[in-house]
Structure 1
Amino acid sequence: MDKLELRRKVAQARRAIPAEARRSAAAAIRENLLDRPWVQMAGLVACYWSTGDEPDTHGLVFALWKHGATVILPVLREDDDLDWAVYDGPDTLAPGRRGLMEPIDTRRGVEAIRTAALVIAPALAVDRQTGVRLGRGGGSYDRALARVGPNVPTVALLHEGELIDGVPAEPHDRPVRYAALPSGIVAIR
């Protein structure tokens, strides 16, 4: 299956998940992550503000922030690379490019992700063997993940059934080390 076909298949499955199931899945993912010492000890966390059918990150971002982590969220640049800015509570977000919610704080530059102790990335699917993630096709997160050190935990948030075999990979694709699902955290590599 090619990337475009797999994206369509996952998007269709995500649309079929009832709202209540999405809410309980988001809560389970959040609790699974917050139970991990490497999440609890991360002083600077790069995350994202979820949209649509993605596993919801709003509660996770808020919980990380309330527990004392500095959370940086992406700001989509004109070249589709990701800049980063600090989340300082729910009132510090505003619509950005493509309607994505972004922090209104000072931009820290594309290299800011290098200093994160934990990186949480979106994905439509992740290959259970290699950690290659299927994104939306713009390459923004592949560029960002290329800047992350090899020992930094990188986590993709997924709905059940999205950790699969055979995600198509290209040379620019960057893998993640963990998949966070409602049923638990899966170490990949």
Structure 2
Amino acid sequence: MRAAILSARRAVPDAVRRAEADHLRRHLAGLAGAGDTVCAYVPVGSEPGSVAMLDDLVDGGARVLLPVARVDEAGHPLPLSWGEYRGDLVAARFGLREPPAPHLPAETVASASTVVIPALAVDRIGNRLGRGAGFYDRTLAMAGPTTRLVAMVRDDELVQALPADPHDVPMTHALTPGNGLVELG
């Protein structure tokens, strides 16, 4: 399933990808206000979104935190740390870009009103299909009880049903270019 979704994403023409990113940018800007903390991500490859969406959040007065992925000595994923986005990014492990140090502990996710999570797909009850490493599942359990957990996907990646494991943290919402914020569950 992951391979099929990634292949379909790579086949999306650049003009369509840019248009979708612009729609997502406008939808996301409406989810946060001045003083809100939003945990988001920097899209890589064919992931939906753009760095411009982060800039809009900051310009609107939101505090934007971006994930910092690390592994332990055995190579197992650790819960995500967070770096405050102020417009500059540095190259990081796994082909990612992240804010420069200092970084905040994983528990900082509890201060966020909204966490925007990359996903390959999400279903109508909130099951998220990620890349399979487990960074987000280890982190999202620390989010506050009223935090919006928003999977950002393309319109056709909001599906009826996905497999789920007991450790998977369900999403509360999906954000798609055509439908905006969709409540799940």
Please give the TM-score of this superposition, normalised by the length of structure 1: 0.90
Contact 1:123 1:134 in 2 (8 A): yes
Give the secondary structure class of the aligned counterpart of 2:137.
Answer: helix
| Alignment-derived partner of residue 57 in structure 1 | 50
SS of residue in 2 equivalent to 1:33 = helix
Whole-Å Cα distance in 1 between the matches of residues 29 and 66 of structure 2? 18
* 1:88 counterpart residue number: 86
Structure 2 contact 112–144 (Cα < 8 Å) conserved: no
Q: Which moved more, 1:17-26 or 1:72-81?
A: 72-81
1-structure distance, mates of 2:12, 2:93: 27
Is the contact made by 1:76 and 1:97 (CA closer than 8 Å) also made in structure 2?
A: yes
Partner of 1:169: 164
Consecutive aligned runs of 4 or more in structure 1 exceeding 6 Å deviation: none
Provide the rounded CA distance (Å) in 2 between the counterparts of 1:107 and 1:95. 15
Post-superposition Cα deviations, 1:79-131, rounded to whole Å, max 9, x if no partner, equal 32211110111xx2101112210100311111111111111100000011x20
- Partner-residue secondary structure (3-state), 1:186: strand
Report the counterpart of residue 59 of structure 2 in structure 1. Answer: 66
Instruction: Give the counterpart letter for 2:3 in structure 1.
Output: R
Distance 1:186 1:78, change over 3 A: same
Runs of 5+ consecutive residues of structure 2 not aligned to the other structure:
none
1:56 Cα offset (Å): 2.0
How many equivalent pairs are there?
179
Q: Which amino acid aligns with 2:54?
A: V
Unaligned runs of 5+ in 1: 1-5
Alignment partner, residue 150 of structure 1: 145
Task: Determine whether 1:125 maps to 2:118.
Answer: no
Distance in 1 (alpha carbons) for counterparts of 2:60 and 2:30: 12
* Cα separation, 1, equivalents of 2:156 and 2:89: 31
Counterparts in 2 of 1:176-187, with a 5 A limit? 176-183=171-178, 184-187=180-183
Partner residue in 2 for 1:111: 107
Match of 1:161, SS state, is: helix
8 Å contact kept, 1:87–1:105: no
Residues in 2 aligned to 1:172 and 1:31: alpha-carbon distance in whole angstroms: 32
2:98 corresponds in structure 1 to 102
